[in-house]
Amino acid sequence: MSLNLDESLHRLIHCYKSEIKNAITESNLSLHVGHIRALKCIQRIPNCSAQIISKKMNLDKSQIARIIKELQTKGHIEKHPNPDNHRSQLLVLTEQGKQAIDTITTLDGETSLKMTNGLTEQQIHDFKHYVEIMTKNLCA
């Protein structure tokens, strides 16, 4: 039986958040976990928009709107008009944003490495696969 599976997950996420948060603050990047997640999304997805982030992160669009506004204020991203959709805005990283992402990627890599210590590539791969299956099962 999958006893306490959920509780284990809660704890893992909690630890991961703390870890990332500490790493970020130590690098003098005044960003939250939410900002980080959004930035990574923007970096990863070409022609990214608020709506896309919202779907990718399973978060309410209002929260995304606020995160984006903050990232824009901080000078990490810019909003460009989308030629294909007048209502949508393309989110683009500024130079500063790219630098931030670089720092984040490094920190994130260290954290991931620390987190997955003792697991083989295959096990990590499987793990990720299981996570995806479970997510699909819930948010179909």
Partner DNA sequence: TTTCTCAGTTGATAATGTCAATTGAGGTTT
Partner DNA sequence: AAACCTCAATTGACATTATCAACTGAGAAA
Q: Return residues touching a copy of itself (CB under 8 A).
A: 2, 4-16, 18-20, 37, 40-41, 44, 56-59, 108, 111-112, 114-119, 123-124, 126-128, 130-135, 137-139
Using the minimum distance from each CB to a copy of itself, give the nearer residue, 58 or 73: 58
124, 115 Cβ separation under 8 angstroms: no
Q: In this structure, what are the phi and psi dihedrals at residue 77, rounded to the nearest 5 degrees?
A: -140, 165
Partner from a copy of itself, DNA, none binding residue 124, C-beta < 5-8 Å depending on class? a copy of itself
Q: CB count, 10 Å around CB of 63?
A: 14
DSSP 77: E
Q: Return residues touching DNA (CB under 7 A).
A: 10, 14, 17-18, 21, 32-35, 49-51, 54, 59-63, 65-66, 68-69, 79, 85-89
115, 16 Cβ separation under 8 angstroms: yes
91, 64 Cβ separation under 8 angstroms: no
CB of 93 vs a copy of itself, minimal distance in Å: 17
